[in-house]
A and B are shown apart, each in its own frame.
Chain A
Amino acid sequence: MTKSPVKKLSRRKDSVTLSSQTVRSKAYRKIAESNSNSEDEEILKGTTFPMPVATPTKRKPPVDKTAAVTPPKMQKNSENEAPLTPQTPSTVLNKLSLNSPQKSNEFEPKKLFNNQYQKARKALHSCVPTSMPGREKELTDLHDFINDCLDKETSGSLYISGPPGTGKTAALSMILEEPQLLELKKVFVNCTAIKSAGAIYARISSELNLKTNSRTEKGNLTAIESYLKKNRKMILLVLDEIDQLDSKNQSVLYTIFEWPAKLNSKLILIGIANALDLTDRILPRLQVRCELKPKLMHFAPYNKQQLVQIFTERLKESNVSSIFSPVAIQMLAGKVAAISGDVRRALDIGRRVVELAEQQKNKGTLNCIENLVAVEEHKNNTVEAVDLKQVVNVLNNVYGTSQNLSEDSDDAFPLQQKIIICSLLLILKKAKNKDITIGKLHGVYKKVCQKRNLSAVDQAEFVGLCSLVETRGIMRIVGKKETRLHKVSLVWDEEEVVNALKDKQLMSSILQDTDCVGKL
């Protein structure tokens, strides 16, 4: 019924990029129209989930639930009658006009709340920046590498590594925007958006607008390679998250890294991933020939100084430097740099600190809505800086373990669950045999309960309680079938468990009861 429109993918892809605006606005109009649709409203109530109807293809759909709910042959007659001939997405896309209609003001955000805090939050949002403080050296290196290749008209390959949130993709996007690279053919592919490693060829060939008759992986590959032989123009190919292209014997990665070494291919290849030693570890054959060896570049995690710089610059750009005191920024940057050096994390925390400051300020001001505008003006005149306590608060929330979180929120265990954990600790401390099963734990737990004149729950309930404790992450239960033989192990540190329980008296009293362990 539906032809798989891979053949038309290249054309479709074009129309998407050309008329993405149109596509979107059309989608809006559709959404606006569909508000009258009854099924829609049903979903909006949150009672049902939208059920995609499986298209009848030759393959069996993996889950038959969809078919069970709405069989494909029994379609509801909605107001918009189904077209008699099934429309493929490509035909729909071809019908799109290329001039986008004027946007209505309906979607304009309200400017009412545009106060200092909002500006600060916007400044700290992790969109791609215009300047990258702390990355000047890497940027010039990238420049030199690309310009070298351009001047000599030779191909080259580069592998960029670094932990997430260190600005690898942002740096490359900045380079790609530059004017002297305009005549270059640029292909940027994020490999996470690809279903399997082999599908990368199809993606690249469609990005290069190659006409291929075959839809197979191999056909696309040969098309790309023949194109590389013939082409007279430089190509810059950027593959983000390249470690997703894992395949059998790493054949895909090898093939791609060998392209630049082909005669007159004129291809600049840049791969980006997290692992520092990816090329050495999984691509050892590249070491054999010098011309295959990719140049390596590493983006180190941001240090404290750089993070402070990023924050101050971003806040200065939107004239809200007064919100953060320098001490607060120092504190935040120091903490993030000490743990991961991830700029996304730092910016997220910064945003949350701003939120917190705003909330606490709002509490102080009046709560009525009538004179909101007056309050707005009043606020803009007296923007308080974020104080250190708020920074510490948010930092603890992000980096605090669930254990000290439970101290903050004061959630209490039910008594029985406490006793289970204490029994587990008792066995770990006192018993000779350290491999614990649910059955053994239940035995000890029963004895402990007996001593304290508590009614012990039976085994069926006990297993349920254990799984509840497991969802708190305190212990881990491993096993498949018979619940009695599931292995139990403690995940947290014992000290942390004691702190989380906060019932030191119970703990210590149970831990002294060595005779509950029996002959374990």
Chain B
Amino acid sequence: MVGYKNYENTRLHIKNKIVNVDQYNGHTHERKQLLDILKRTTDSGESNSALLIGPPGVGKTTLVNSILKELQEDKKFNSSAVLVRLHGLIHTDDRLALKAITSRMNLDNAINGKVFGSFAENLSFLLACLQTGQRETSKSVLFILEEFDLFCSHHNQTLLYNLFDVSQSAQTPICVIGITHRLDVIELFEKRVKSRFSHRQIFLFSTHGDDIAIPSINQRIDRISNFLLLTNNNDFSSTYFAQWNKNIKQLMKDKKFICSMQRLLDISENEEITKNIMMLAVSKLNVEKPKISADDIEDELNIFEKDDLVQTVQDLSVLELCLLIAMKHHSEIYDLQPFNFEMILTRYNKFINANSNVQNVQRSVVLKAFEHIQNVELIAPTGTVMSRLQKEYQLFKLLITSQQITEAIKTMNGLPTEVIQWAGSSLA
């Protein structure tokens, strides 16, 4: 089963390439700016602060990681700088952040990674350590704060105030880099924090070239081919290797493929989605399906674009669907007014009585069906739930549009014709 091995290796190889993007290309200007700031902090002891802003998935963390990698290749860096990385989702308040900083800087009240003392003590101790540092002789400290906007929601923004304050005074050289996806992050600052921040914002947008304005389809396809082409020849037989790369090159020229990529690009410029779809397509490689075709990509894209609510509706029983149709009629007639169970039941009973060949069900069963619709969150109670109110009289609103219900009914199999007809006419 040599062929089998080949496919397994291919899958592994490509997934590795997609997940671990090691080299960062594009944004050379921004990268240089950031590198300069960090270098000036470590080499000449200037304190700085900067914000790295860009939409989610554009590669902010990748950029920072690649810069740090470059810095750490220099032997001097490790002896002349301390790196402190904080994450807004992990360090959810200043206390946790301080403990992390203290243990990372190996201060004296951190023993074996444990930090002793209360929040106030740690803070005053940390500040004492930072404030007694001299510009010329201290190690510089690089703070990298990811999810920076979450740090702004801390109490009084104490941590940010103190970090920026140290960076504004002639003390230990520190550099504060914040990474966030919010463009209006400056508006979250308190005025005194805002004054201490150096207003250096570096924006990353989804342009991977330096002189190309719009993330064009050709660029996107170049990136994808980079991911899909096999690069090292060691794990594969040479014939397979050549064949694979030839296939991929053909795929890149395929009209259908280019069309589906354009569809993706219209939805979002975020590359993560493309990567995910590639991952899914690559995962399906096996002996029976030796190569990726444009149809595979399109299938994945269709799955991605599917409406999940419509699929939820398609899973309902006929009774539940009838109730949903009754709700839809109610919303159409009364212009999105909220409804309760009794109204829907009346409307449903009218339909039952008009069509003798649909079976009649008990009220309690209908109520069960109604509750099931509530559990899958196709309807939701309006406003506050009043406990005094019986559940039959609670007001609900529909969380799904009429178009979605119609669409779901169109593609369902084995529905009674009466139900389909009733769904089409809201005058019943």
B19 lies within 8 A of chain A by Cβ? no
Q: A108-B136, A414-B265, A414-B266 are in contact. Are A20 and B129 (CB under 8 A)?
A: yes
CB distance from A320 to the nearest CB of B (A): 15
CA distance A202 to B55 in the complex (A): 45
- Asked if A27 contacts B129 (CB within 8 A), the reply is yes
- Asked if A5 contacts B169 (CB within 8 A), the reply is no
Q: A52-B100, A193-B162 are in contact. Are A471 and B133 (CB under 8 A)?
A: no
Q: Which residues of chain B from 262 to 277 have a CB within 8 Å of any chain A CB?
A: 263, 265-270
CB distance from A155 to the nearest CB of B (A): 27
Q: Contact string, A105-132, partner B, CB cutoff 8 A, digits 1/0?
A: 0111110011000100110011110000
CA distance A4 to B82 in the complex (A): 29
Q: A23-B129, A473-B184 are in contact. Are A92 and B108 (CB under 8 A)?
A: yes
CB distance from B155 to the nearest CB of A (A): 9
CB distance from B233 to the nearest CB of A (A): 28
A-side binding surface: helix, strand, loop or mixed? Answer: helix
CA distance A65 to B93 in the complex (A): 13
Say which size band chain B's interface belongs to.
Answer: 35 or more
Q: A113-B44, A127-B169, A471-B183 are in contact. Are A164 and B106 (CB under 8 A)?
A: no
Q: A164-B191, A398-B199, A460-B307 are in contact. Are A193 and B158 (CB under 8 A)?
A: yes
Residues of B near A397 (CB, < 8 A) are: 201
Q: Which of B84-92, B282-290, B416-424 contacts A (4 or more CB under 8 A)?
A: B84-92
CA distance A80 to B111 in the complex (A): 10
Q: Which of B115-123, B350-358, B364-372 contacts A (4 or more CB under 8 A)?
A: B115-123
CA distance A111 to B393 in the complex (A): 80
- Asked if B85 contacts A46 (CB within 8 A), the reply is yes
CB distance from B277 to the nearest CB of A (A): 14
Residues of A near B85 (CB, < 8 A) are: 43, 46, 49-50
A458 lies within 8 A of chain B by Cβ? yes
CA distance A179 to B129 in the complex (A): 26
Task: Find the residue from B83, B198, B270 having the highest chain A CB count within 10 A.
Answer: B198
CB distance from A332 to the nearest CB of B (A): 13
- Asked if A409 contacts B120 (CB within 8 A), the reply is no
CB distance from A372 to the nearest CB of B (A): 14
Q: Which residues of chain B from 79 to 113 have a CB within 8 Å of any chain A CB?
A: 79-80, 82-87, 90, 92-93, 95-96, 99-100, 102-109, 111-113
Checking A9, A26, A80, A194 against B112 with a beta-carbon cut-off of 8 angstroms, the contacting residue is A80
Residues of B near A39 (CB, < 8 A) are: 113
- Asked if A27 contacts B137 (CB within 8 A), the reply is no
Checking A106, A164, A411, A414 against B268 with a beta-carbon cut-off of 8 angstroms, the contacting residue is A414
Q: Contact string, A408-419, partner B, CB cutoff 8 A, digits 1/0?
A: 011110111000
Checking A17, A26, A43, A46 against B108 with a beta-carbon cut-off of 8 angstroms, the contacting residue is A26
- Asked if A31 contacts B183 (CB within 8 A), the reply is no
Q: Which residues of chain B from 120 to 163 have a CB within 8 Å of any chain A CB?
A: 120-121, 123-125, 127-129, 132-133, 136-139, 156, 158, 161-162
Q: Which of A81-89, A137-145, A279-287, A311-319 contacts B (4 or more CB under 8 A)?
A: A81-89
Residues of B near A439 (CB, < 8 A) are: 401
CB distance from A237 to the nearest CB of B (A): 17
* A406 (CB) vs chain B CBs: closest residue: B205
Residues of A near B397 (CB, < 8 A) are: 482, 485
B222 lies within 8 A of chain A by Cβ? no
Checking B44, B92, B105, B194 against A27 with a beta-carbon cut-off of 8 angstroms, the contacting residue is B105
Residues of B near A50 (CB, < 8 A) are: 84-85, 100, 103-104, 113
Residues of A near B133 (CB, < 8 A) are: 24
CA distance A429 to B277 in the complex (A): 39
CA distance A226 to B267 in the complex (A): 70
- Asked if B68 contacts A106 (CB within 8 A), the reply is no
List A residues at the B interface (Cβ < 8 Å): 2, 4-6, 9, 12-13, 16-17, 20-21, 23-24, 26-28, 30-32, 34-35, 39, 43-44, 46, 49-53, 55, 62-63, 65-66, 75, 78, 80, 82-83, 86-89, 92-93, 96, 103, 106-110, 113-114, 118, 121-122, 125-128, 163-165, 192-195, 199, 202-203, 241, 244, 274, 340, 342, 344-345, 348-349, 351-352, 355, 397-398, 402, 405-406, 409-412, 414-416, 439, 442-443, 446, 455, 457-461, 464-465, 468, 471-473, 481-482, 484-485
List B residues at the A interface (Cβ < 8 Å): 36, 43-47, 55-56, 64-65, 68-69, 72, 78-80, 82-87, 90, 92-93, 95-96, 99-100, 102-109, 111-121, 123-125, 127-129, 132-133, 136-139, 156, 158, 161-162, 168-170, 181-184, 191-192, 194-196, 198-201, 203, 205-207, 213-215, 263, 265-270, 305-310, 380, 397, 399, 401, 403-404
Task: List 8 additional A-B contacts (Cβ < 8 Å) besides A23-B129, A55-B114, A416-B266.
Answer: A16-B125, A30-B106, A114-B44, A164-B196, A195-B119, A402-B183, A405-B203, A455-B263
